[in-house]
Structure 1
Amino acid sequence: MRRGRAALAVAVALLSPWAPPPLAAPRARAPQQTLSAPEGSQGKQTGSRKARDKRSPKVPPAPGPSSSEPPPSALAPDAPTRPRPEETPPAPPPSVPPERPWAQGVSPENQQRALELFQAGNALLKDAVFVKASEKYREALELWSHPAIHYNLALALMNLDQPLEVHEHLEAALRFGAEPLEEEKFEYARNYKLLIEKQLSRLDITCDTPGATVLLDGKPLFQAPGKYSGLVRPGAHTLSAARQGHLPQNLNRTLLPGETANVTLRLYTTEELTRYRRRFHVSMPWLVMGAGAALAGGSAWMHVRARAHFRSFDEGISACGGCVPPLPLATQLERGYLLQSSAIVGYTVGGAAFITGAVLTALNQPQPYRIDPSQLAQPQVSISPLLGGGSGGVQALVRF
């Protein structure tokens, strides 16, 4: 940015802003008045006078004010045309030149007052009193939005580090082309405008949410739906949009000199930004409950088999009349005890698994949470040129 300010300082020095820009607009020619000679004097001219009149060359009209004397002719107020004296016969009225475009709708009184303020601002600008000069130019612009006033105000603002306002007034100075300005001043204004645009950043903001208020660094820009495109200083900026019934959106962007950033703001309701998630996969609690139920079912089958072994053992003891059980009967008893113990363990583990699955089902209910609006935005690509030092290129920034 220091390098940009230095470039502006050198440019201002080259421009020599102390003299107001002479505006070469054609001045309205005053109607020619014909003065008749007194009665009886016609035809009494002496021969020597007639000869002297024939020998004397015609004197050209006096030149207008020089460009070094402020203000220029194009800034002079439009004076009303005086009526001609009565003649016999009356001459046709002279043709009135069309009003200059930058003077349309401005009364001669306002033009004269603006002219006085313009001259006062020029004197202050020559003495390097830039703040006071800019105040005089602003007062003049309230009366007459003349390109020359915009031009000189831009010169004063260059020394006050106001690049945005400088660009705005340079655009106003160039509005009517080179006619209200000198060709040289017109070219200077156009070159400085291009120089400032390279040192600033351009921001394009779009918001399609009806009724939303869009702000840039806390200052309102427009009411959506709409779009804003303008120059801003390089650096960090805050973009925000708000509307009743919607969640506000705030974006922080850091812009580089010469960068063009495209930003789309969209407001969402709470429902649009609400998502749901579970602690576990939806099938996990049911799998645990199913495993517990299957284990309990297997335990019931082992319990039935254990009872069958106990019944066979009882029948064998009854058949032998209470004898010592032989080995096959003892084996039936041992198998019955083993299956019965396994069934009891299976009942315990299966029941615990089933209860655990039921608890997990209760804990695994969907839980709402809010996502960031930037997660719904599409990636944005900004492209800016890189110039300088006999080289050039293009810089692309991808933002997610």
Structure 2
Amino acid sequence: MDWLRPGALVALLCTGSLLPVSSAAAQGPQGEGEEEASPEAGAPEAASPEDAQAAQQAREHFRTGMEHFEGRRFREAIHEFQLAAALVPSADLWFNIARASEELSDLPSLEQAVEYYRRYLRDRVDPPDRDAVEARIASLEERIEAAREAQLRRPDTGTLRIGVETEGAQVRLDGQPSGETPVPAPISVEPGRHRLDLEREGYVPFRSEVRVEPGVVTTAYADLVPATRYRAVRGRRIFTWITAGLAAAALGTSIGLGVHARSRADEDLSDGRRWAAISDYVLGSALVLGVTSVILYFVEGRAVGTERIGPDDEPLEASRPRPGAF
């Protein structure tokens, strides 16, 4: 009961080498007046090429099935034994199919094992191990009944627990909203695979597939990673505002000198002209400083570096401004 039946191979080796005896040899004694059957009439006829080819194919399938069984590839072994039996039926092949099916242990395979053990007892002439096979059938039927009862008691749903450290993330299960993190209680779901999505602004979206078994609590751990975002670091406009201040001061001084030059021109024309020239000179300086401050505004205000910001727009790290930015 612990191994396969090599007798199937013996039957396959014999099959195809001989055909059944002729009809003349199968008849009873010759009656009076009838010609005696020729000696060759009872001799076995050579197998037809088709029968020999079928027997050869069956032997190959049987040997392949034995190799699969020894390698514990039981489904492949069953397939090869069934192919051999389709070509040359044999009770020992039924036994081998039953043994391989029994090794698979799932409910359909156990039911198949019982079926083929019964075929073996039906087709084998006076099987020497009938009592052992019948006891095996009874044991398998008990296992089948227990498996069926276990299926009836098996829970119809599973439980999914979601573990996330980041708060405020939107949870979606199979595309349907399921609240925010932290999820207060486990979720009851149908057995099988489910798509889990977690999203929060400023974080890389989390996507995963979770398999839930019936009656089992499955925990899915998710680690939300902050999205990598950068912003430009602007230079400080120190010289811009200094130059603009000097330009404003020069403009004010020029205006003051112009007023003073006009008042002096009423008393002394030459003195008034001198102060007017100074006012014009200072006004020109104010214009130059004003243009320079405008240029510096754009030069100093350009980006001199970048910084990575977190989900709450807080700087995480920044590159240092280049010394030659100005």
Q: Same fold (TM over 0.5)?
A: no
Structure holding more helix per residue: 2
Q: TM-score w.r.t. structure 1 length?
A: 0.28
Q: TM-score w.r.t. structure 2 length?
A: 0.34
